[in-house]
Amino acid sequence: MKKTSNFGGKPGKFHYAAASVLAMFGLTTQPAQAQVTLDVIGPHEYELPVGFKPFNVFVQYAAFNDSDTAYDDGGHKVDVGNTQTLVGLSKYVRFWTPESHPGIGVAYEIIVPEISVRSTDGSGGYVGGIGDPLTGPAVWFKPADGVTLGLQSFFQIPIGATDVSDRKWKNLSSLFWDWRATDSLGITGNLGVVWQGENAAGFTPGLTYHMNHRLGFRLGKLVEPFLGADAETTEAHDGAPKAWAVDGGIGVMLHTFANQSITLRYSSTFDARNHADNDSVNVKYAYVW
């Protein structure tokens, strides 16, 4: 049953939606956030080499969400206003292997969010701009053929545009893995935690724990359909209630060229509490050189 609510009181529905969309990459974890943290990953996200010459990767992620509902504390869907959100993440990564340890891979990433939130109820409301950038390293090794295990940690710096920054320092750290079970079948995923500092109003969110999985089966050289599962829970803290969500998705990865790929995915919320209802179309483009 769908109820009508401002879902959170003092901020208007549009401002709630503008804040909630930042959660796409852990950009915020408010009690009623949008997509699950790190749900942008694709089916080969952590299939990484060791013992290689340095190379570069540019990735552009984008997510369009047209949902106007959220889950309240009782699991009911409530109306939070008619908005359309478009979030992009532009990522540059430098990869290398230390000469002294050729069995280890290392990467350093810089990620810049681009955010647009528009009201579709006729009010003309709009916020947008460059979000708070993220930066940090990743390191991994291969304990067996076809298996990758690693650790990544990103700091988010609160210097984005005023309308799309919540002015909090954050750290996103996670373990990640990839297993190529056969030449066609593979699973990639992560398990992580998000820490957030105090914002300008004195509010400090609880820790957020998340996991993301992609199961893909490659059909020939070009097409790889896959399933996605994403979940997270945020601790109750500083007056904010506990929040959680379980999302699922289906997509396809197109291996267009040897050094490029395009990934398309639809994602939706199965169940949640104090969390926005995910109804998003997601795109990922990767270029290697």
Q: Residue 233 is encoded by which pair of tokens?
A: 């829970």
Collapsed DSSP state (helix, strand, coil) of residue 149 = strand
Taking the complete model, does pTM exceed 0.75, yes or no? yes
> Looking up tokens 């295990």, which residue turns up?
149
Structural contact between residues 280 and 269, judged by C-beta atoms closer than 8 angstroms: no
Element holding 279 (H helix, E strand): strand 279-288
pLDDT along the chain (289 residues), means of 10: 39 41 44 76 97 98 90 91 89 97 98 92 83 98 98 97 92 99 98 94 93 97 98 93 96 96 97 93 98
Q: What is the pLDDT of residue 8?
A: 37
Nearest to 116 by CA among 243, 11, 24, 219: 24
Find the radius of gyration of the CA atoms of the chain: 19
Q: What is the pLDDT of residue 166?
A: 86
d(CA 23, CA 276): 10
CB atoms within 10 A of CB 122: 7
CB atoms within 10 A of CB 140: 20
d(CA 49, CA 57): 13
d(CA 176, CA 263): 19
Backbone φ and ψ of 109, nearest 5°: -120, 145
Q: What is the pLDDT of residue 2?
A: 45
Structural contact between residues 33 and 242, judged by C-beta atoms closer than 8 angstroms: no
Nearest to 112 by CA among 82, 81, 92, 133: 133
Q: Residue 175 is encoded by which pair of tokens?
A: 């373990």
- Which sequence spans correspond to the domains of the chain? 2-288
d(CA 171, CA 2): 35
Specify the fold of 2-288: Porin (2.40.160)
CB atoms within 10 A of CB 255: 16
DSSP string, 110-153: EEEEEEEEEE-SSS--EEEEE---EEEEEEEEEEETTEEEEEEE
